Amino acid sequence: MIYLIIVLFCLIITIMILFAEWSVHYDMTNGSGYPICKGNYKNFKFCFEKVKNWEYKKHFSNSLFCSDTNRKSLYGIFYMIGEIHAGRFIFDDHAMLLGPIDYYRALLLVRKKVKEFKKKIPKTNKKMKTWDKYESEVIMNKLTE
């Protein structure tokens, strides 16, 4: 009996977390300032694969960007060919609003693409210096010049 209660509790918590994440997508899409179009996973996948030159930025770990700097947008600085950031899916200067299940399927596709980009980034094994080591190197460089 206690196991059933624990399983149900975990299931309820998981559903609440998933709903909270989807509600962030809903709020961010509505507040994006772009015209909103309702979509499904099939539409998302078509638009996602249509964009060939996605750009990955390390400081936005789960985001992809593609903008046309030669075209101006009515809604932002540059025309957004594609942007997946902060729970928003923007294609051709229009925000795509997905249902909960389609949203999570789309996230899996985005994470797969982000993982491909992360594999291409070379890893550096540089150790961070302490401030004392940095200061001593600066002083030694000044003394030897």
pLDDT tens, residue by residue, 90-136: 999 899 999 999 999 999 999 999 999 888 877 766 666 677 777 77
Q: Kindly report the pTM of this predicted structure.
A: 0.75
Is residue 130 domain-resident?
no
Quote the domain boundaries for residue 112: 2-122
**Residue 42 C-alpha from the chain's centroid:** 20
Question: Looking at residue 84, what is its pLDDT?
Answer: 94
Total structural domains within the chain: 1
Is residue 63 domain-resident?
yes
- Over pLDDT 90: what percentage of the chain? 47
Q: What is the mean pLDDT of residues 17-23?
A: 89
Is residue 133 domain-resident?
no
Is residue 137 domain-resident?
no
Is residue 41 domain-resident?
yes
pLDDT tens, residue by residue, 44-57: 999 999 999 999 98
